[in-house]
Amino acid sequence: MTLVRTIEALRQRWSLLVRMFIVLLVLLVLIDAVPFLIDKEKAHTAMESIPGFWSLFGFFSCVLIVYISKYLGKIGLLQREDFYHD
Amino acid sequence: MTELWIHPALILLVGAALLPLVPERIRAGYLLLVPLLVFARVHGMAQGVYGEVRYLSWDLVFGRADAIASLFAYILALMAVLGTLYALKVKKRSEFAAAWVYVAGSLGVVYAGDLLTLFLFWEMMALSSVFLIWLRGRKESLAAGFRYLLVHSAGGACLLAGILVYSRGAESLAFSGFNVQHLGIGGWLILIGFLLNAAVPPLHAWLPDGYGEATFSGSVFLCAFTTKTAVYALIRGFAGLEILIWLGVIMALYGVVYAVLENDSRRLLAYHIISQVGYMVAGVGIGTQLAINGVCAHAFAHILYKGLLFMGCGAVLQMTGQSKFTELGGLYRKMPWTFLFTLIGGLSISAFPLFSGFVSKSMTVAAGFEAHLLWPAFLLTLASAGTFLHTGLKVPYFIWFGKNNCKPETWEQAADPSWNMIAAMAIGSALCIFIGVYTPYLYDMLPYPVEYNPYTAYHISESMQILLFTMLGFFLLLKKLQPAPAVAVDTDWLYRRGARVFRRWDDRLLNGLNAWCEELIVRRALPWLSRFFEAPGGYLQVAGLRLLARLGGADRQETEVAVQCRSRLGTYPVGIGVLLAVLYLAAMSLLFFF
């Protein structure tokens, strides 16, 4: 099947994909810093004019969500699978 | 009513009723025809008010078809077509009947112009949808179904109580916006009924509980109709109610937190319904034209991509018998198309540019920024990072890539599903991309004129940064996100574990009271009374005699025997009767004269 072959071909070039991904991340922040390309007239707060503000926001949102959830799981939300069965 | 008006729900109800009579040969055609007819009926209905009936002293309106109702009916009917196509090969006809009655209920709610009609269809939805859980046939499904039914019955009772209280002070039962400044008891009760169906914490635990246990195709229906009709009802009744903004933000974050902990793919998707409906509830609370447009657009897009996601995970469940991440993994070789469609669903819900969520979700968030609600708007944006983290990354990664946890039989059975399921997912995916690419399709249906353009350079840059840096976080924290076999305790604990505590106390208190009453009244008081009434006169006399004997010290043995004998035979001297009569008359005359 061609779809499987495509996926496998992509998996074989994993390190290249990772490098491309990192380049893309850098590009996103760089582009964000060019007022000519990204018009920040409509930004709602002053913070948003910092180049790469939303990158930081996205990354820290992700980290925050994972750590807070894991913490809540540890202090009691997570129980063994047969919790309700006895 | 001057002309014949056919309610779209009626087509589904008649279709469901005739289902057992349909011969096997034309079953597939019939199954597709009925929802297609409904979709054609909904699509062809001009805006207006139809189906007005006067019943007792009430004016019932079955067909209020304005812009908002038409939009919701359109997407609900479309989802009915896709859901039926997806389920086409399911053997049990009862599942189609249940699903269609359920869809009929939701269409009835959407077109209802008064509160009584709304309630009627509201209950029809609850009572029919529970069968989509029960029909899975597992012991757990039976229990989950009963819990689902009980919670919805409580919500329905609350709604009915609210309608009754509200009707005392209102001129008519027309379902229009309530006075959000002064809701009154009736308004609050109705609101609680709506919020329960919209799965607002803490009234939400029925949703992951029920949807995780439903049949593989039942969840596809369930995920679309109950919460979205509730959102519709909130738009109608409570637009601009400020508390909804914060409730919506809490919902958006709540679902995201639980999704991290969840090991079952369908329960994870269920938690993301709560999260996504949070955007809609917050939008209703903001209540501006842009916000209401955003809510309608997001509900529309959400029904499609969430249906698509449940179809993908449902296909995995149907083909492998598993839905937990700890039992799956590495399936891309076996189910590549299911992976692709699920990924498209994941990108849509994550609001990737060119996918449906991008053009709908951002409207609500933008409305928040425009109304200067900075905290809610930022928190909703934060939640959207979580959405991509789970639905866009965690679900596809741990089912189709990651560590292969499949048992040999799971791996053996795994394959892309039958053509009808693939077709339903393909159409769903195509629509998700179409909505994202060609915005006028959705925007022209919205109730207010749209001046919003999601494809500005700034918005694309913002979204891409949030999404791709979330992706970076995902891969850096991959170890932390590894699934583990566990359950996350939610507010259903209250009625699952709490019920046992309640039962124990109930047992002690009520059964204790019962036992005490039995000892006192049944075992002691009744025998004593019955002994007494065998010969009441004799007992009284003997008791009097004993008293006298104690005072006087005379021999009473003989007299007692004589008294008992006399009372048993009823042979009293005439003198006693005369004495009693004289005493009685004396008492009466005293009463008369004074």
Residue A52 within a domain: yes
Structural domain harbouring B441: 301-485
Disruptive mutation site among B260, B332, B390, B455 for chain A (greatest number of A CBs within 10 Å): B260
User: B551 and B477, same structural domain?
Assistant: no
Number of independent structural domains in chain B: 3
Dihedrals φ, ψ of B174, to 5°?
Answer: -55, 135
pLDDT at B226: 96
User: B115 and B3, same structural domain?
Assistant: yes
User: B539 and B481, same structural domain?
Assistant: no
Closest Cβ opposite residue A80 in set B257, B374, B486? B486
Closest CA of chain A from B517, distance in Å: 34
Distance CA B224, CA B107 (A): 12
Tokens of B217: 């195709």
| Residues B381, B311 contacting (CB under 8 angstroms) | no
Distance CA B80, CA B16 (A): 13
Distance CA B67, CA B469 (A): 39
What CA–CA distances, in Å, run from B428 to A23, B21, B25, B367, B423? 33, 31, 27, 28, 8
Residue A84 within a domain: no
| Residues B473, A66 contacting (CB under 8 angstroms) | yes
Number of independent structural domains in chain A: 1
Residue A81 within a domain: no
Distance CA B385, CA B463 (A): 9
Of B154, B173, B192, the domain-final residue = B173
pLDDT at B1: 45
Closest CA of chain A from B62, distance in Å: 43
Closest Cβ opposite residue A81 in set B256, B456, B486? B486
Residue A14 within a domain: yes
Q: List per-residue pLDDT tens for chain B, 594 residues long.
A: 446 789 999 999 999 999 999 999 999 999 999 999 999 999 999 999 999 998 888 889 999 999 999 999 999 999 999 999 999 999 999 999 999 999 999 999 999 999 999 999 999 999 999 999 999 999 999 999 999 999 999 999 999 999 999 998 787 889 999 999 988 899 999 999 999 999 999 999 999 999 999 999 999 999 999 999 999 999 999 999 999 999 999 999 999 999 989 999 999 999 999 999 999 999 999 999 999 999 999 999 999 999 999 999 999 999 999 999 999 999 999 999 999 999 999 999 999 999 999 999 999 999 999 999 999 999 999 999 999 999 999 999 999 998 999 999 999 999 999 999 999 999 999 999 999 999 999 999 999 999 999 999 999 999 999 999 999 999 999 999 998 898 889 998 888 888 888 888 988 999 999 999 999 998 999 998 988 888 777 778 778 777 777 766 656 677 777 777 777 776 777 777 888 899 999 999 999 887
Tokens of B50: 């139809």
Residue in chain A closest to B387 (alpha carbons) equals A62
Residue B121 within a domain: yes
User: B453 and B569, same structural domain?
Assistant: no
User: B422 and B541, same structural domain?
Assistant: no
| Cβ neighbours of B344 in A, within 8 Å | none
pLDDT at B554: 58
DSSP codes of every residue in B63-130: EEE-HHHHHHHHHHHHHHHHHHHHHTT-S-HHHHHHHHHHHHHHHHHHH--BHHHHHHHHHHHHHHHH
pLDDT at B350: 95
Test B496 with A84 for CB contact under 8 angstroms: yes
Number of H helices, E strands in chain B: 27, 3
β-bridge partners, B55: B58
Closest CA of chain B from A57, distance in Å: 7
Longest dimension (CA), chain A: 65
Test B261 with A79 for CB contact under 8 angstroms: no
Distance CA B281, CA B200 (A): 9
Residues 44-73 of A with CB under 8 A from B: 44-45, 52, 54-59, 61-70, 72-73
Report pTM.
Answer: 0.87
Residue A8 within a domain: yes
Residue A24 within a domain: yes
SS3 for A35?
coil
Closest C-alpha among B1, B13, B61, B20 to residue B37: B13
Test B487 with A79 for CB contact under 8 angstroms: yes
Test A28 with B465 for CB contact under 8 angstroms: yes
User: B169 and B22, same structural domain?
Assistant: yes
What CA–CA distances, in Å, run from B177 to B98, B116, B145, B160, B506? 31, 15, 33, 17, 42
Query: pLDDT class for A8, splitting at 50, 70, 90?
Result: very high
Structural domain harbouring A25: 2-40+48-75
| Cβ neighbours of A78 in B, within 8 Å | 261, 484, 486-489
Residue recorded with tokens 């891309």: B332
CB pairs < 8 Å spanning A and B: 139
Tokens of B529: 């009374």
Distance CA B317, CA B216 (A): 7
Distance CA B309, CA B355 (A): 14
Residue B81 within a domain: yes
Test A4 with B472 for CB contact under 8 angstroms: no
Residue B248 within a domain: no
Neighbours of B452 (CB within 10 A): 19
For chain B, the residue count is: 594
Strands (E), chain A: 78-79
Residue A29 within a domain: yes
Residue A63 within a domain: yes
User: B551 and B468, same structural domain?
Assistant: no
Residue recorded with tokens 């004495």: B579
User: B131 and B10, same structural domain?
Assistant: yes
Closest Cβ opposite residue B465 in set A45, A58, A72? A58
Residue in chain A closest to B366 (alpha carbons) equals A44
| pLDDT tens column, B358-397 | 999 999 999 999 999 999 999 999 999 999 999 999 999 9
Of B173, B203, B237, the domain-final residue = B173
Closest C-alpha among A34, A19, A47 to residue B461: A34
| Cβ neighbours of A62 in B, within 8 Å | 385-386, 389, 469-470, 472-474, 477
User: B118 and B1, same structural domain?
Assistant: yes
| pLDDT tens column, A18-40 | 999 999 999 999 998 888 888 87
Closest Cβ opposite residue B466 in set A57, A63, A66? A57
| Cβ neighbours of A79 in B, within 8 Å | 486-489
Test A4 with B467 for CB contact under 8 angstroms: no
Pairing type for strands B487-488 and B58-65 reads unpaired
Dihedrals φ, ψ of B63, to 5°?
Answer: -135, 80
Of B151, B173, B195, the domain-final residue = B173
Residue recorded with tokens 């086409």: B88
Contacts of B138 (CB under 8 A, 6+ apart): B213
Residue in chain A closest to B468 (alpha carbons) equals A25
Closest C-alpha among B201, B288, B290 to residue B246: B201
| Residues B386, B259 contacting (CB under 8 angstroms) | yes
- Omega of the bond leading into B202 within 30 degrees of 0 (cis): yes
SS3 for B53?
strand
